[in-house]
Amino acid sequence: MTDPLIVQLSKRQLDAYNRADLDAFASVYHRDVQVLDASGAIVRDGMDAFRAAYGEMFARHRDVTATVNERIVLGPHVIERESWSRVERATGEHTSGEVLVRYTEKDGLIRWAQFFRT
């Protein structure tokens, strides 16, 4: 059975994220991507802001990883519970945590990503 498109997109972006491959990561997202916080406020609007934020994160950290622990799919939406970790290059400080992320597909790409953190 083939995964729904939104799950295929999520898997592709996660694979690219874990390789810190900004071009492959961004290629899965819509040019008008919006990243939202838990309240629905836009924290990144458009591909330029998206690439700048993740490019800076990939440059600042090594061993950037995330894994999906749970996944719920409904139409063009997927909600994932993800565990993440990374190491700051300058200090060697390791940080990790867990997040819920909602990805929504439009026009064959991820158009919205919303993050819910504790």
Encode the chain in three state secondary structure: CCCCHHHHHHHHHHHHHHCCCHHHHHCCEEEEEEEECCCCCEEEECHHHHHHHHHHHHHHEEEEEEEEEEEEEECCEEEEEEEEEEEECCCCCEEEEEEEEEEEEECCEEEEEEEEEC
Spell out the domain ranges in the chain: 5-117
Q: 3 phi and psi, to 5 degrees?
A: -65, 150
Share of the chain above pLDDT 90, in %: 98
Instruction: Please identify which residue in the block is written with the tokens 């836009």.
Output: 42
The reported pLDDT for the residue numbered 118 is: 83
pLDDT(6) > 90: yes
Q: Which CATH class is domain 5-117?
A: alpha beta
Average pLDDT over residues 16-44: 98
The model's pLDDT over 60-73, given as tens digits with 9 standing for 90+, comes to 999 999 999 999 99
Q: 105 phi and psi, to 5 degrees?
A: -90, 140
Q: Is the pTM of this model over 0.75?
A: yes
Share of the chain above pLDDT 70, in %: 100
pLDDT(1) > 90: no
Average pLDDT over residues 40-60: 98
pLDDT(88) > 90: yes
The reported pLDDT for the residue numbered 37 is: 98
